[in-house]
Amino acid sequence: MSHLIRTLLLVVTGTALAGCAVETADSTTFDSEETGSAESDVSANKATFVTLRQDYRKCMAPMCGGFWVKDVNRNTEEKYVSGLDFSASGLDDELIARVQEAPAGELIIRGKLGPKEPQFGTRPLMVYEAFRGMPGVEPLAGDIFFQAEDRDPQIQCFTAPCPNEIAHRLNTSQAYAFDGYQVALASRPHVDQDWLIDRVNHHGAIVAALFVQGEQFPGGYAYLLDASQVYLNMADMTGPCPAIKLAQCPEPGSEWTYTRDENLCVMPNSCSTNNNCPSLQPPQCAEGYSVAAWRTDSPSCIRFACDPSFVLPY
What phi and psi values does residue 211 have, to the nearest 5 degrees?
-85, 140
The number of CA neighbours under 13 Å toward the Cβ of 84 is 27
Task: Give pLDDT, residue 262.
Answer: 85
For CA atoms 133, 136, 139, 141, give the dihedral sign.
positive
Task: Give pLDDT, residue 239.
Answer: 67
Judge contact between 40 and 32, C-beta under 8 A: no
Could you say which DSSP state residue 196 is in? H
Task: Give pLDDT, residue 141.
Answer: 95
Contacts of 279 (CB under 8 A, 6+ apart): none
Element (H, E) at 35: strand 34-35
Task: Give pLDDT, residue 13.
Answer: 39
Those residues of the chain that have pLDDT short of 70 are 1-21, 25-40, 238-239, 314
User: Using one digit for the tens of pLDDT, what is the confidence trace for 179-236?
Assistant: 999 999 999 999 999 999 999 999 999 999 999 999 999 999 999 999 999 999 999 8
Measured between alpha carbons, how far apart are the two ends of the chain, in Å? Answer: 37
Counting every residue written for the chain, the total comes to 314
Task: Give pLDDT, residue 32.
Answer: 63
3-state DSSP assignment of residue 42: coil
Q: Whose CA is closest to 21, among 29, 12, 34?
A: 12
The number of CA neighbours under 13 Å toward the Cβ of 124 is 12
> Distances in Å between the alpha carbon of 300 and those of 277, 280, 281, 293?
6, 8, 12, 12
Task: Give pLDDT, residue 28.
Answer: 45
Task: Give pLDDT, residue 26.
Answer: 61
**Cross-strand pairs, 230:** 207
